[in-house]
Structure 1
Amino acid sequence: MTTSEIALFVYDNLMKGEDQHEWLASARSLGEATTTPQYALVDLGTSGALVQGGFVAVTGELYALSPAALAALDVHRGHPILHRRTAIRLADGREAQAYLLSMEQAAGCRRVREGDWRKRRGAPGATRSRDNSPLVSWAKRRFDPSR
């Protein structure tokens, strides 16, 4: 990474193959990365949000961006009003910038338990659907005895 580039950890619709990846068109991929297990990943509907204070290691990708590209992305992500860009620690000891939401802002949002945006509800490649969880199955049987 050059001295003028900034490492950015992305974990949601900015990742490769997702609908807003074009925002990273000028960035250089540094590969996959995982955070230390002190975060939560929440589903905001069209995007996700990283929240400090959880117990999950979040999976994502690392990119090297120019300051100009990062400034444009800051505006797009609503930094510092909606998301706050700050330094985070990765599992391998490196540090990177990431967009975080405060715990208060994330209140009531569904958590992505696996810490992997691509494994959230109904996503392609999801290992487990919310509709097939033991609790949902029990509730459906309880309120619909014909099942």
Structure 2
Amino acid sequence: MHTNYYFVYGTLKNGHRNHHLLGGSLKVGDFTTKPEYSLLDLGSFPGVVKNGTTAIHGEIYKVSSQEVEGQIDLLEGYQPHGKNNLYHKELITIENKPVYIYILNTSVVDIAKYSEISSGKW
């Protein structure tokens, strides 16, 4: 069976407008990353960048559908091997579990235009 874990921190979280895209994915729980990132307010959604000092608060979902993964990738502007993706999809470890997270592609997004959310919560 195909299964991956995803750390979501914005509109895919429970109660937010794109949560339905997760379909029947199982919520594992609420988690926080290591304080190695910055969370930016991009207006109607947030973005995470590396090399910061903020722990990002979010939720981890167990995704067992390639269709759901495709929907999430599409929402996040991600294509495998795409150079102009809005986000990169990367594996990180949270509490000894490998999970995917979407990291802003700073070669496409001018992050200097956006304010940081110092709490790490969107």
**TM-score, length of structure 1 as denominator length:** 0.72
Match of 1:19 in 2: 17
1:93–1:36 Cα change, 3 Å = farther
Q: Deviations over 1:111-142 (max 9, x none)?
A: 1100011xxxxxxxxxxxxxxxxxxxxxxxxx
Cross-structure match for 1:100:
103
Larger radius of gyration: 1
Give the alignment of 1:1-147 within 5 angstroms: 4-65=2-63, 66-80=65-79, 81-90=85-94, 92-104=95-107, 105=109, 106-117=111-122
Kindly state the Cα deviation for residue 109 of structure 1 after the two structures are TM-superposed: 1.0
Counterpart CA distance in 2 for 1:14 and 1:25 is 11
Q: What code does the residue aligned with 2:120 have?
A: G
Per-residue Cα deviation, 1:34-77 (whole angstroms, up to 9, x for no partner):
11110111111111111111111100000011222111210121
SS of aligned partner of 1:74: helix
| Structure 1 vs Structure 2 CA RMSD | 1.4
What count of residue pairs does the alignment treat as equivalent?
114
For CA contacts below 8 A with separation 6 or more, give which structure has more relative contact order. Answer: 2
Question: 2: distance between equivalents of 1:98 and 1:116?
Answer: 15
Task: Report the Cα distance in structure 2 between the residues aligned to 1:86 and 1:115, rounded to whole angstroms.
Answer: 19
1-structure distance, mates of 2:71, 2:2: 16
Note if contact 2:78-2:88 (Cα within 8 Å) is conserved in structure 1: yes
User: Unaligned stretches of 5+ in structure 1?
Assistant: 118-147
Q: 1:36·1:89 contact (CA, 8 Å) conserved in 2? A: no
Structure with bigger helix share is 1
What is the aligned-residue identity percentage?
28
Partners of 2:118 and 2:9 in 1: how far apart? 13
Runs of 4+ aligned residues of structure 1 deviating over 6 Å after TM superposition are none
Q: Which has the higher strand share?
A: 2
TM-score, scaled relative to structure 2: 0.85
Deviation at residue 94 of structure 1 after TM alignment = 2.3
5+ long unaligned stretches in structure 2 = 80-84
Counterpart position of 1:141: none
